[in-house]
Amino acid sequence: MIPRISKRYASTAQPKPKPRKGRKDHLYGATPEHPPVTPEEQVRIIKRRIEKAERDERMDITMALTPVKTYMGGFTRPRDLRALYWSKDGPYYGNKVYEAPPASAYVPHTVYLLEARHLTKHGVGRADSIEHVVGICRECDFPDVLARYNSVQSPEREIMDNARWPWVAQGRVKRVKWWNPGEDPKEITRAIMEGSEYESENRQAFSGEVDTVHNGTVNLPKLTTTGQQVRTFHSSARRPYPSESYNEDHIVPNFYMKHKKDRKKQAEELLNSSATPSTTSPSATDAAGLGVDAAEKAAHDPARQTKAVKRRKHEEAALMQHLSDSILDNDLVASTRRLVTKIPVEHYDDEGNLAHPSGFIVPGKGHSSSSNPARAKERSRDEDEERAAQTAAVAERVLESDLDHMHSAMASTRPRSHKVPFEIREPDGTVKHPSGFVPPTPANEFKYSDSVSLERGLSSAISRQRARDAENKSSTIIKGRGLHTTAIVRASEVALPPHLLQPVPVPEVDSQISSELSESELNSEVDSQVSSRPSKSEPDHVSAIRAKYLPTLEREPFFRPLLTLTVSTRPLAKSLVRLSRALPRGLAFYASIPSEDRKFGHSFSSRMRNLRLERMQSLAVAMAQGLSGARGGFVGIRFSPDERGRGVDGEGLDKALDLDKRTIGVGIGNWFPRAQELKEGFKMDAEEQIMTPYTSQGMQVDSGPFNVYGLDDWGRRICNETGKELAYPPRPDTSTTTLDEVQAELDAIEEDTLDALAEKKGSLPLEEVRKREVERRKKRQEIARKHTHELARVMAESRVVS
């Protein structure tokens, strides 16, 4: 018998035949092709390919700046670089159509960090804080973008509406009470800081009070490493309430700290008192005139031993005093206090009851119902309490009886007749209540409602409602309305008063003038009229606030530039702005701050500012390292639309990048108090962390990876050395002859569309309108076929700008 493995290798079975492509005597024909793509759809396809080329480059740069995931090792693999998909034998090679990215993506772009001038109010439970804005724009457009943020068209207009402007009520800072009742915090601070070299600064730091200014900055106390430090007991400011008891072990009251001068006075009083002990040994003096036996008895006498201990206590008091003084320096000594375990809590009085020192008697066992104390308690019940209990029982019974008479399936309420105010009809026909109130709709004008007659029978109420609906089928007010008996609907069915039915006068427009105006002019005129009216969506107080702060933005902008990073291409800028909005792992900036530290707006704003600055500075250093060639540089990066990407089939790996392509412009707001420190930080990082690549021109001409300059409140560049303004580059000319021709043809089609709409409103037949619509569609298809790539790039650019 052949083994199983031998049978498998010795088998002579033929391979499985391929399945047939059709039934018997009927084979499938050729695979049908896709219908041809219209020129307009071809424009959209090319537009998506152009967007994908730029997006893939941005994703590769972002991946290089993102730390590698270290969790779940073994279940992850390195990410793929999109640029290498276009390499030879790659997934896209021969299967995809490549489209170059737009040329506008390879002009310098700026990533900006703006900071608000004033604090912004937030919801309940969130402290006022200074808001920040992160965005991207072209380098030449940054002053205009900043001016837009400080205008009525600002995208962050809501932040300015809720800002703490100088003329608006400022939020009060809540101070935590860290001192005990009856104590003066200023006196405690003065006593602790007495004799300190930095008395004023330490007093401010200890008191917990921070002086603020209207621009949202904080004057924090200086931290010094020199000088005399003071050792004191720490009273926690986190305790939400003061303690009235000193029996807790973790509470150290301030009166346990005493000065040396107080101890000195106590020692002097002790020495001057009549209980001054002798300096000689009591056992030696007493036993001098006695015999040996008497001396032994005196030495072992308990009374004499107790007396000797008391005397030694007085003798060693001064020694312990000096010992305590040597423990703590700077006029501070330590004293003792009674432990909690030595304080009596409960004791038994003369009658045998367990009582507290405060006089409270702990309840013991209860009495039986037949005992004398229980009966005496029942007899001493207050009559008012008994009467109140009876009244409550009667009211509950009455309520139960009312519910018993209601319908088993429906529950409804109706006002009693004696509680409905009567209506009085005046001689002029006005109906009002005796109190003088004029109801909007008199009661006699309401139609019959079944909401008050459901108790008489639900089926009869529904039949009456259906009969009324059948009578009012021709009415336009309640057309299609079912059983709905709410007061609002009943009020809407009432006919309006005669004075509300009078037509509103409308200004007449001359037909000759209106015929001369085009549709765009009419629309602009209507828009101007609408804009002049007050907006209903905005409350009155918001409009009042805007009317007050908008004129001040020209001389004092609300949003000021804190930091700007200018790079050579838009994909680099998009990677920066994407990663600058969170920490390296994607955690939001505010989430990294504990909730307790977010309650004070000034310190929270300062920490948020420092987190953002540190994150953007680290990203700028990492990007400068990649542009200089560290870790192989950025794969897939381009600097013109003609390039396929660095590293694709070895492109761009033969030399380093040019200086203008790898230089990052760093702008820091001169208004920031730490502006000079930030500038020095970027220069130090450039010298210590970034290695200058070797080029054919040599390293001498390399001015460094960062070009640092200052910024004023309006975004103008200021030279650090000379203080002069640095000009921005001019705007590139994006208009071409081909695009102008396309725009002219599209405008002509739009005019034909307006003419067709005008004729459609007249006596033009429907067939003629459809015929013209087909002609316009053919014209659009012809334009799309003639200028496919131009239209696709224009559409891709408009999507990026929006």
In a domain, 158, yes or no: yes
Tokens 């703490």 locate to 164
Residue 201 is predicted with a pLDDT of 46
Residues 588 and 637 both lie in one domain: yes
Distance between CA atoms of 568 and 576, rounded to whole angstroms? 12
List the structure tokens of 8: 């498998």
> Which of 726, 742, 773 is the last residue in one of the domains?
726
Please state the domain count of the chain: 3
Question: Is residue 227 predicted with pLDDT exceeding 60?
Answer: no
Residues 439 and 578 both lie in one domain: no
Task: Indicate the pLDDT class of residue 263, thresholds 50, 70 and 90.
Answer: low
425-441 residues labelled b (16+ CB within 10 A) or e (exposed): eeeeeeeeeeeeeeeeb
Question: Is residue 578 predicted with pLDDT exceeding 90?
Answer: yes
Report which of 152, 150, 147 is spatially closest to residue 531, judged by C-alpha positions.
152
Residue 112 is predicted with a pLDDT of 97
Residues 586 and 722 both lie in one domain: yes
Residues 115 and 216 both lie in one domain: no
pTM of the model: 0.55
| CA pseudo-torsion sign 664, 670, 671, 674 | positive
Residues 578 and 705 both lie in one domain: yes
In a domain, 577, yes or no: yes
Residues 721 and 607 both lie in one domain: yes
Distance between CA atoms of 67 and 64, rounded to whole angstroms? 8
Distance between CA atoms of 656 and 751, rounded to whole angstroms? 54
Distance between CA atoms of 386 and 394, rounded to whole angstroms? 13
Q: Please check whether residue 638 is in contact with residue 101, taking contact to mean a CB–CB distance below 8 angstroms.
A: yes
CA-based diameter of the chain, in Å?
A: 152
For every residue of 21-58, DSSP letters joined together read: SEETTEE--PPPPPPPPPHHHHHHHHHHHHHHHHHHHH
For every residue of 235-262, DSSP letters joined together read: --TT-SS--S-S-STT---GGG-B-HHH
Report which of 412, 410, 413, 434 is spatially closest to residue 422, judged by C-alpha positions.
434
In percent, the amount of the chain with pLDDT more than 70 equals 54
**Per-residue pLDDT tens over the stretch 763-802:** 567 777 778 778 878 888 888 888 888 888 888 887 665 5
In a domain, 586, yes or no: yes
Residues 722 and 622 both lie in one domain: yes
Question: Is residue 620 predicted with pLDDT exceeding 50?
Answer: yes
In a domain, 396, yes or no: no
Task: Indicate the pLDDT class of residue 279, thresholds 50, 70 and 90.
Answer: very low
Give how far Cα 423 sits from Cα of 208, 213, 388, 440, Å.
66, 62, 39, 12
* 118 CB-near residues (< 8 Å, 6+ apart): 130, 163, 164, 165, 166, 214, 215, 216, 558
In a domain, 459, yes or no: yes
Distance between CA atoms of 572 and 579, rounded to whole angstroms? 11
Residues 564 and 705 both lie in one domain: yes
Neighbouring CB atoms inside 10 A of 228's CB total 10
Distance between CA atoms of 637 and 569, rounded to whole angstroms? 9
List the structure tokens of 699: 């390293």
Task: Indicate the pLDDT class of residue 446, thresholds 50, 70 and 90.
Answer: low
Question: Is residue 733 predicted with pLDDT exceeding 80?
Answer: no
In a domain, 2, yes or no: no
In a domain, 506, yes or no: no
Q: Please check whether residue 49 is in contact with residue 560, taking contact to mean a CB–CB distance below 8 angstroms.
A: no
If phi > 0 it is left, if psi is from -120 to 50 it is alpha, else beta; for residue 383 that is alpha
In percent, the amount of the chain with pLDDT more than 90 equals 26
Report which of 250, 235, 258 is spatially closest to residue 340, judged by C-alpha positions.
250
Task: Indicate the pLDDT class of residue 668, thresholds 50, 70 and 90.
Answer: very high
54-92 residues labelled b (16+ CB within 10 A) or e (exposed): bebbbbbbebbbbeeeeeeeeeeeeeebbbbbbbeebee
**Per-residue pLDDT tens over the stretch 411-442:** 555 555 555 566 777 877 788 877 777 877 77
Higher pLDDT, 679 or 193: 679
> Which of 699, 726, 753 is the last residue in one of the domains?
726
Residues 586 and 703 both lie in one domain: yes
In a domain, 713, yes or no: yes
- Mean pLDDT throughout 79-84? 86
- Mean pLDDT throughout 600-610? 92
Higher pLDDT, 19 or 110: 110
Give how far Cα 736 sits from Cα of 204, 428, 516, 748, Å.
66, 76, 34, 19
Distance between CA atoms of 682 and 251, rounded to whole angstroms? 48
Report which of 675, 641, 664, 637 is spatially closest to residue 653, judged by C-alpha positions.
637
Question: Is residue 361 predicted with pLDDT exceeding 90?
Answer: no
- Mean pLDDT throughout 689-715? 79
Distance between CA atoms of 112 and 134, rounded to whole angstroms? 6
| CA pseudo-torsion sign 469, 470, 476, 479 | positive
Residues 592 and 682 both lie in one domain: yes
Residues 156 and 257 both lie in one domain: no
- Mean pLDDT throughout 452-479? 53
Q: Which domain holds residue 649?
A: 103-163+558-726
Question: Is residue 479 predicted with pLDDT exceeding 50?
Answer: no
**Listed ranges 83-87, 697-701, 740-744; the one with the highest mean pLDDT:** 83-87
Residues 325 and 463 both lie in one domain: no
Residue 637 is predicted with a pLDDT of 93
Instruction: Give counts: helices (H), strands (E), the chain.
Output: 25, 15
Task: Indicate the pLDDT class of residue 137, thresholds 50, 70 and 90.
Answer: very high
Strand extents, DSSP E, 674-799? 706-711, 717-718, 725-726
pLDDT mean across residues, the chain: 72
> Which of 707, 726, 745 is the last residue in one of the domains?
726
Higher pLDDT, 112 or 723: 112
User: Lowest-confidence range among 83-97, 302-316, 559-573, 776-790?
Assistant: 302-316
Higher pLDDT, 611 or 406: 611
